[in-house]
Amino acid sequence: MDVYTHSEMLPAHYYPAFKKYKHFVGNYGNAWWQQLREFESFNGPVLFTTNCIVPPRKEEIRKRIFTTGATGYPGCTHIEGDEEGRKDFSEIIELAKTRPPPAEIEKGTIVGGFAHEQVFALADQIVEAVRSGSIKKFFVMAGCDGRMNSRRYYTDFASELPEDNVILTAGCAKYRYNKLDLGDIGGIPRVLDAGQCNDSYSLALIILKLKEIFGLEDINELPIVYNISRYEQKAVIVLLALLYLGVKNIQLGPTLPAFLSPNVAKVLVEKFGITSIGTVAEDPERFLGA
């Protein structure tokens, strides 16, 4: 029985420990919001362990969706743990044995696993690339993806970046550009994916490490640009962490959070220089000219 991950579980394949499980074969699909279509062609049971569940429209799909932990949805089977926290997933396994295999929707490989320890291992190579001019800037493009057409901006933005720029990402925002053929710089992939939303912590450590290596007093002196894609509260937490570190001039999109009061928005703009995204034609040039 083959096991696939979807969307936010893509980074699970980056962990070497999982290589010993031959049935853990790959990732199926794209960002979370495409699950309505992709779960149909997947055919098998689906286990939700975290958020991002989209209400299934079809009864047949609802019957093969299972949830556990904090997730749940009416009509889907929820699996609770016993007194010791152990969970019985045998119902999912038995259902999987009766279902047809997934219908192929795409194939290929993605390079990932660039959490802070892996990037630290490449530190000498990265620093030399920066000092030699092979890498001009890093673009932090972490955050969220969503179904709105305006999010196509991030795909086009990544495509328009010159070949001497590297993207640092985490979260499902990466699905907007992680399958683009952006190549590498001296063996360093131009998209360094740290993993899930929570792995934005790794991006912060990488930024602080670069500040230390280059002996800078101000984190904003680094050749790093922040073009963050937001959707919900986790991205706001990441934003607050960056503000705590003193990062300024963050570009946020596709829109600023609607819950910001005028006074709070004024502080973010005046004290931290937060702006909304512009156009793909203007933004890369503005950032690279900074």
The whole-number pLDDT of residue 174 equals 95
| 222's tokens | 């680094």
What pLDDT, in 10s, does the model give residues 98-141? Answer: 999 999 999 999 999 999 999 999 999 999 999 999 999 999 99
Which residues have a Cβ under 8 Å from the Cβ of 252 and sit 6 or more positions away? 228, 230, 239, 274, 275, 276, 277
Whole-number pLDDT of residue 239: 86
Nearest to 28 by CA among 104, 96, 85: 104
Structure tokens given for 214: 């280059």
Cα-Cα-Cα-Cα dihedral sign, residues 236, 242, 248, 251: negative
Dist. CA 137–CA 30, nearest whole Å: 27
Edge-to-edge order in the sheet of strand 65-68: 46-48, 65-68, 77-79
Backbone phi, psi, residue 65, to 5°:
-100, 130
Return the pLDDT at 260. Answer: 82
The model carries a pTM of: 0.92
Domain 3-98 of CATH type 3.40.190.10: no
Q: DSSP E strands: which ranges in the chain?
A: 3-5, 24-27, 46-48, 65-68, 77-79, 137-140, 165-169, 184-185, 188-189, 191-193, 224-229, 251-253, 275-276
User: Which residues, other chains included, contact 8 with Cβ-Cβ below 8 Å and sequence gap of 6+?
Assistant: 32, 50, 52, 172, 196, 197
pLDDT of residue 155: 97
- Each residue's pLDDT tens digit, 50-67: 878 999 999 999 999 999
Round to whole Å and give the CA distance between 130 and 252.
25
Q: Which of 276, 275, 230 is nearest to 248 (CA)?
A: 275
Range(s) within the chain of domains with CATH label 3.40.50.2030: 3-98, 116-288
Class of domain 116-288: alpha beta
- What is the rounded distance in angstroms from the CA atom of residue 275 to the CA atom of residue 290? 15
* CA nearest neighbour of 190 among 115, 238, 126: 126
Question: Can you list the residues of the chain whose pLDDT is less than 70?
Answer: 1, 290
Q: Please tell me the distance from the alpha carbon of residue 118 to that of residue 155, in angstroms, as a whole number.
A: 25
